[in-house]
Amino acid sequence: MVAFVDKTMVCRECGANFVFTAGEQEFYKTKGLLHEPARCQTCRASRRRNAAQGDAPRTMYPAVCADCGATTEVPFEPTQGRPVYCKECFEAHRRTG
């Protein structure tokens, strides 16, 4: 049985000191995580938020909905011969399967 002790570490992102608690160390061990965190809690949360949102804004392409004829924008370049739907029609198709 390993006794864990709180460790003070330096965030590689912002340079702030943060504590890697004994409880967190035990959690890492039970999950099989081999590397200690290199970032503080704030920087880790910020990275997760940015990754979820994507770092760069998406390129949107103009399109005409194949069902209702409305002008819309989609996050992919429409291909000739394949239908493109506005948000409402896409959701309707999705619900009906």
Per-residue pLDDT of the chain (97 residues; tens, 9 = 90+): 678 999 999 999 999 999 999 999 999 999 999 999 999 999 999 888 877 776 566 788 999 999 999 999 998 899 888 999 999 999 998 888 6
* pLDDT, position 55: 58
- CB neighbours (10 Å) of residue 41? 13
Domain ranges of the chain: 7-53, 61-96
pLDDT at position 56 is: 61
pTM of the model: 0.50
Contact residues for 4 (Cβ-Cβ < 8 A; gap 6+): 22, 23, 25, 26, 29
What local confidence, expressed as pLDDT, does residue 36 receive? 94
From 59, 78, 75, 55, select the one nearest 87 (Cα to Cα): 75
Q: Which pLDDT does position 47 carry in this prediction?
A: 86
Q: Which of 31, 16, 15, 18 is nearest to 6 (CA)?
A: 18
